[in-house]
Amino acid sequence: MKNILKIIPWGTILRIIGLLCVALLLLSMAWVAYFSVFDVTKTPQMAFYKFDAKGDSLNFKVEHQWVPIDSISRNMIVAILAAQDKDFYIHDGFSLISGEDSIISRIPNHHETISQRTAHTVFLTKDDSWVKNILEPYFTTLEEYLWGKDRILEIYLNTVLTGDGIFGVEAASQIYFGKGAGNLTLNEAAFIASTLENPVYIDINNPSEEILTKQKEILLRMGFIMHIKLGKTPIDEKEPRPLKTINKRNWKG
């Protein structure tokens, strides 16, 4: 290595490093631009997903099926916004601290927005690391400029982890309820949204009290969003109806 450094001038080495950085920058921008037009059918998280090594999960495979946002129930769209990012359409990709002072209101919050989550699900692996902390804001910014809000939401709904090896709301809807995502009811949409924080360990036929409580909270938030922003009658504030689960793990997407 020392002999190579003696042969190649430092100026040349720095120019090579600079060219490599520019090339990586252009490639990453092209990668994001590509998905502004074409569907996301494979992500690093799908490619490297590892199932829990016990029971029937040994026979599972990654389940995913892309559907356009027009084929996803508005109940599911509102449930995602209510559960994870109610300010999605008014921020620039990053959650901000609330405050009347204009400087304070521009300070990023620790809460991850749907834009940030999309960057993570599409371009990065599952594990948190210093790489994620650097690349996630970069890809989030590119998404906001190159995709726009509706495309970000469409891609997120199609790539988010919704179960053990289940990616996207269409696969979740088919496996859990035996129907397409376009036909999800309010309760079903709220249930899927309530599992996203810990989607791997889900007993669809006997959901935990934590998931059921989260489902109720999401239903209430959905009522508020639909009433205030979409001009619809708010959802009745009552216990969610029991879900008729299917759990078709052998679904062929």
Cα-based distances in Å from 163 to 62, 64, 101 = 10, 11, 41
Of 145, 138, 97, which is closest to residue 120 (Cα–Cα)?
138
Residue 30 has pLDDT above 80, yes or no: yes
The pLDDT of residue 101:
44
Cα–Cα separations (whole angstroms), residue 69 to 138, 151, 209, 223: 25, 9, 31, 21
Strand-pair partners of 64: 167
Among 130, 132, 137, 84, which residue's Cα sits nearest to residue 108? 137
pLDDT at 248 over 90: no
What is the separation of C-alpha 167 from the centre of its chain, rounded to a whole number of angstroms?
9
Binning pLDDT at 50, 70 and 90, where does residue 154 land? very high
| Max intra-chain CA distance, the chain | 76
> What is the structure's pLDDT at 29?
86
- Angstrom distance (rounded) from CA 92 to CA 88: 8
Q: Extract the tokens encoding 202.
A: 């889900």
Q: In this structure, what token pair is assigned to residue 24?
A: 């990586």
CA dist 177 to 77, 157, 221, Å? 17, 17, 23
Residue 116 has pLDDT above 90, yes or no: yes
pLDDT exceeding 90 applies to what percent of the chain?
42
Confidence of residue 35 (pLDDT cuts 50, 70, 90): very high
The per-residue pLDDT for 104 is 41
DSSP letter at 37? T
Please state the φ and ψ torsions of residue 243, each to the nearest 5 degrees. -85, 135
Tokens linked to 105: 């209101």
- 40 touches 179 (CB < 8 A): no
Give me the pLDDT at residue 51, please.
79
108: pLDDT confidence band, cut at 50, 70 and 90? Answer: very low
Residue 44 near residue 124 (C-beta atoms within 8 A): yes
* 217 pLDDT more than 80: yes
The 10 Å Cβ neighbour count of residue 83 is 23
Q: What is the pLDDT of residues 38-87, one digit of tens each?
A: 999 999 999 988 876 655 555 778 899 999 999 999 999 999 999 999 88
User: Which of 169, 170, 163, 205 has the alpha carbon at shortest distance from 81?
Assistant: 169
Q: What contacts 24+ positions apart, CB below 8 Å, involve 219-225?
A: 219/186, 219/187, 219/190, 221/82, 221/83, 221/86, 222/75, 222/78, 222/79, 222/82, 222/186, 222/189, 222/190, 224/82, 225/78, 225/81, 225/82, 225/86
